[in-house]
Amino acid sequence: MTSEKNVYLCILAGGSGTRLWPLSRQSSPKQVLTLAGQRSMIQGTIDRVLPLIPLEHILILTDPSRVELITAHLPELPRGNILVEPSARGTAPALGLAAARLRSRLSGDAVMLSLHADHLVSRPEVFLKALRAAIKTARSGRLVTIGVQPSSPETGYGYIERGALLEDELLPVYELKEFKEKPDLATAERFVASGLYDWNTGYFCWMLDTILAAFAQHLPETASLLASIVEAEARSASPSEVLTLWEAIPRNTIDEGIMERVQGAAVVSCDLGWSDIGSWASLYEVLAKDEAGNVSTGGGEHLAIDSHNCLVYSRDRLVATIGLEGMIVVDTGDAVLVMPSERAQQVSDLVKLLKAQQRERFL
Amino acid sequence: MTSEKNVYLCILAGGSGTRLWPLSRQSSPKQVLTLAGQRSMIQGTIDRVLPLIPLEHILILTDPSRVELITAHLPELPRGNILVEPSARGTAPALGLAAARLRSRLSGDAVMLSLHADHLVSRPEVFLKALRAAIKTARSGRLVTIGVQPSSPETGYGYIERGALLEDELLPVYELKEFKEKPDLATAERFVASGLYDWNTGYFCWMLDTILAAFAQHLPETASLLASIVEAEARSASPSEVLTLWEAIPRNTIDEGIMERVQGAAVVSCDLGWSDIGSWASLYEVLAKDEAGNVSTGGGEHLAIDSHNCLVYSRDRLVATIGLEGMIVVDTGDAVLVMPSERAQQVSDLVKLLKAQQRERFL
């Protein structure tokens, strides 16, 4: 496979993945964790695209508190490739700023791809095909997203309703009909049964001039402020001036602010073996199980008597279980978490509790 | 309370308490663990009797592998007060040897009391009363045991059937009718409902000449070998000569070999708030619970969301639980154990598994 010319990748690396506590912490957010295989989530994300996009064209978008961590974590990445959002204002301002900054040094037909730093893809060859299809479609002037054919009625993901088939050379590409918020189970089951919906990955692809024109049309105030920021950065304005402009931008997501409003957006539909690993339960889903349905990961050891469908994470300690069904046990040097897997979403409540108690040591 | 004259206490400290793994290990058997309060089990046992029996009259019976540990653990105990059984041959030879050794330096009317090193007593004042009643009854020439009025139909304990009331000065003392093996639940319920049964503590009290006469009558071969051992020890015979005599003694328990065969044995019946803490589930039973029915012990911290009736043991780590009911979570520096409390007996299977795997580090 030859690398794509004039394509730039922005990896969004702003999240923290609190539902993977006690493994995810402020000092080790989800994107730098090694949850499956040998590489961290963000290293894995970079590894996957390197056959297509050279490292110099890979940019990391993150917030000020993460710059040091990401820099240390990715020593091979040119320092200038880490772009800092002054503060979190949603994906529309973040991707708009990245596009505007790229446009200040690249031609308008350069292609920008955006991915998340903390997702798992178990079929990397299909993933590269999807990126190539997305790039090709983007070069035709469309805003493109990548949808994943759902393998189950997952209620933790948003969905995309597909429209007419546009082409089917590398992979099927459809008109993007509508974004759907995370559904309830009945709705998710209907989506999956219909065959008309994909999971929303939050991956996008467009030419710089296409996305900037869409901002100018649908979020003109944002577009204007983004232009002012790039102009201010060009004359090395003070960080506080940049911050003031940035904070004036209305919060918005790229889905709502742009993708749902434009005509002719497209979705590449594929089967990536994809997961956002949004919780311990979803990590369990993607990892290989033993004959009892147990997953033992992290490097430690699980000694099980009559235990089934459990996820045990430990680094260097022995975790022994007797008579457990569908439980999650996580051991990190200073903390242990135990819960049934159906409670995995509530880990964020635990983290909120620790925050409320100002237990910095565990955050 | 004044101390009792001419009374000697033997504390049996031979067990390991494998069902309290991963806390109990070969290097830290149950008797040296601090499971409740501030003192280890054996220290607590000594503390409880000190108002009645001076430290110099307290002997610890243990096996060769434990001598060093017990010596280090009880620095205030005179070194000569640790008596070594050459190997485990059941409670009959162990208590018989202790009695024969004591008789070689004491008069026959000296009273010997025997307790276990690893039991919990939450009503120490009743316990002292029970010992005084037992000593008094022993001085009348009876073999005496202490029974605990059952608070539940426990199937993990043996039972004692009481006969006629003999006296009721300090506490009621009955004729001992029969020992009952650990019963099934229906039998245990019948025992408790009848009001005629006590839990068997394995605590005994007798004058030296009474118990030695009982050995001579009911286990004459054992009595003869015990006499030979004491004679051999008196002339500083080689350890191998003593061991040969010891190993020739038939294995037996004091219950079966002596107590069930003698006429006129007595049982002091009392309510000690007693537990043998035979498992994590029985430790849960005896410890104070919070409003959700949870017990947090060991010095670490339990952060609970929607969790009830759980026991969490950790030393210095945070254990977080979500949505747990009746679970036991034990964290010791190198290992974590998770199980429903009704599986607590199976911890011994886990230890067997570790032994079979020769995992010395965890034994």
Q: Render pLDDT for B113-132 as a digit per residue (tens, 0 to 9).
A: 999 999 999 899 999 999 99
- In eight-state DSSP terms, residue A324 is -
Select the residue of A317, A335, A349 nearest B305 (Cβ to Cβ): A349
Instruction: Please give the residue that has the higher pLDDT: either B171 or A16.
Output: B171
**Chain B partners within 8 Å of A338 (Cβ):** 319-322, 324, 327, 329, 338
Domain ranges of chain B: 7-275, 280-362
**Chain A partners within 8 Å of B350 (Cβ):** 303, 305, 320, 322
Q: Which of A21, A301, A338, A341 best probes binding to B when mutated, by most B CB atoms within 10 angstroms?
A: A338
* Per-residue pLDDT, B4: 81
**Chain A partners within 8 Å of B353 (Cβ):** 303, 305
* Per-residue pLDDT, A229: 96
Q: What is the pLDDT of residues B291-341, one digit of tens each?
A: 999 999 998 899 999 999 999 999 989 999 999 999 999 999 899 999 999
Report whether A114 contacts A253 (CB < 8 A).
Answer: no
Q: What single letter denotes the amino acid at residue B217?
A: Q
Select the residue of A22, A319, A322 nearest B343 (Cβ to Cβ): A322
- Residue B15 pLDDT more than 90? no
* Per-residue pLDDT, B16: 77
Interface residue A350 vs chain B (CB under 8 A): yes
Instruction: Please give the residue that has the higher pLDDT: either B252 or B16.
Output: B252
* Per-residue pLDDT, B321: 98
Residues 6 or more apart in contact with residue B274 via CB below 8 angstroms: B119, B120, B121, B122, B148, B199, B201
Of A46-55, A111-120, A138-147, B11-20, the one with minimum mean pLDDT is B11-20
Closest CA to B297 of B309, B279, B310, B315: B315
Instruction: Please give the residue that has the higher pLDDT: either A347 or B85.
Output: A347
Mean pLDDT over A263-282 rounds to 94
| DSSP E strands, chain B | 7-12, 58-62, 82-84, 111-116, 120-121, 144-148, 159-168, 172-180, 197-207, 266-270, 274-275, 295-297, 301-305, 311-314, 318-322, 327-332, 335-340
Tally Cβ neighbours within 10 Å of residue A102: 23
- The reply to whether residue A346 touches residue B321, judged by beta carbons under 8 angstroms, is no
* Average pLDDT taken over every residue of chain A: 94
B7-275: CATH superfamily: Spore Coat Polysaccharide Biosynthesis Protein SpsA; Chain A (3.90.550.10)
At A38, the pLDDT band (50, 70, 90 cuts) reads confident
- Which residue in chain B is spatially nearest to A333 when comparing CA positions? B317
Select the residue of A323, A331, A350 nearest B322 (Cβ to Cβ): A350
Closest-CA distance, B333 to chain A, in angstroms, reads 8
Closest CA to B151 of B6, B311, B271: B271
**Chain B partners within 8 Å of A349 (Cβ):** 305, 322
* Per-residue pLDDT, A65: 87
Q: Which of A24, A330, A334, A339 best probes binding to B when mutated, by most B CB atoms within 10 angstroms?
A: A339
- The reply to whether residue B317 touches residue A338, judged by beta carbons under 8 angstroms, is no
Mean pLDDT over B253-275 rounds to 94
Q: What is the pLDDT of residues B152-183, one digit of tens each?
A: 999 889 999 999 999 999 999 999 999 999 99
- Residue B204 pLDDT more than 70? yes
At B37, the pLDDT band (50, 70, 90 cuts) reads confident
Interface residue A305 vs chain B (CB under 8 A): yes
At B1, the pLDDT band (50, 70, 90 cuts) reads low
Closest-CA distance, B30 to chain A, in angstroms, reads 19
Mean pLDDT over B257-269 rounds to 95
Residues 6 or more apart in contact with residue B305 via CB below 8 angstroms: A346, A349, A350, A353, B320, B321, B322, B323
Interface residue A337 vs chain B (CB under 8 A): yes
Select the residue of B22, B320, B343 nearest A337 (Cβ to Cβ): B320
- Which residue in chain A is spatially nearest to B315 when comparing CA positions? A334
At A1, the pLDDT band (50, 70, 90 cuts) reads low
Cβ under 8 Å to A: B residues 311-330: 314, 317-324, 327, 329
At A12, the pLDDT band (50, 70, 90 cuts) reads very high
* Per-residue pLDDT, B88: 85
At A9, the pLDDT band (50, 70, 90 cuts) reads very high
- Which residue in chain B is spatially nearest to A319 when comparing CA positions? B336
**Inter-chain contacts counted by CB atoms under 8 A, chains A and B:** 107
- Residue B38 pLDDT more than 90? no
Question: What's the Rg (C-alpha) of chain A?
Answer: 21
Q: What is the dihedral of CA B153, B159, B162, B168, to 10 degrees?
A: -80
- Residue B86 pLDDT more than 90? no
**Chain A partners within 8 Å of B352 (Cβ):** none
* Per-residue pLDDT, A19: 93
Match 């679970």 to its residue by tokens: B327
- The reply to whether residue B338 touches residue A354, judged by beta carbons under 8 angstroms, is no
- Which residue in chain B is spatially nearest to A337 when comparing CA positions? B320
Q: What is the pLDDT of residues B345-355, one digit of tens each?
A: 999 999 999 99
Report whether A26 contacts A363 (CB < 8 A).
Answer: yes
Mean pLDDT over A214-236 rounds to 96
- Cα→Cα distances B97→A42, A131, B70, B244, B346, Å: 69, 83, 19, 14, 34
- Residue A336 pLDDT more than 80? yes
- The reply to whether residue A340 touches residue B317, judged by beta carbons under 8 angstroms, is no
**Chain A partners within 8 Å of B343 (Cβ):** 306, 322-323
Interface residue A304 vs chain B (CB under 8 A): no
pTM: 0.87
Beta partners for residue A205, in sequence order? A113, A144
Omega of the bond leading into B220 within 30 degrees of 0 (cis): no
Share above pLDDT 90 across residues of chain A, in percent, rounded to a whole number: 85
* Helix (H), strand (E) at residue A230: helix A220-234
Q: Which of B332, B338, B342, B346 best probes binding to A when mutated, by most A CB atoms within 10 angstroms?
A: B338
Interface residue A82 vs chain B (CB under 8 A): no
Share above pLDDT 70 across residues of chain B, in percent, rounded to a whole number: 99
* Per-residue pLDDT, A310: 98
- The reply to whether residue B322 touches residue A314, judged by beta carbons under 8 angstroms, is no
- The reply to whether residue A320 touches residue B338, judged by beta carbons under 8 angstroms, is yes
* Per-residue pLDDT, A4: 81
Q: What is the pLDDT of residues B221-242, one digit of tens each?
A: 999 999 999 999 999 999 999 9
* Per-residue pLDDT, A320: 97
Mean pLDDT over A324-334 rounds to 96
Interface residue B134 vs chain A (CB under 8 A): no
Long-range pairs of A243-248 with CB within 8 A, sequence gap ≥ 24: A243/A86, A243/A87, A246/A85, A246/A86, A246/A87, A246/A89, A246/A93, A246/A97, A247/A86, A247/A87, A247/A89
**Chain B partners within 8 Å of A314 (Cβ):** 336
Report whether B127 contacts B169 (CB < 8 A).
Answer: no
Mean pLDDT over A127-147 rounds to 97
Closest CA to B313 of B326, B300, B322: B300
Closest-CA distance, B319 to chain A, in angstroms, reads 5
* Per-residue pLDDT, A20: 95
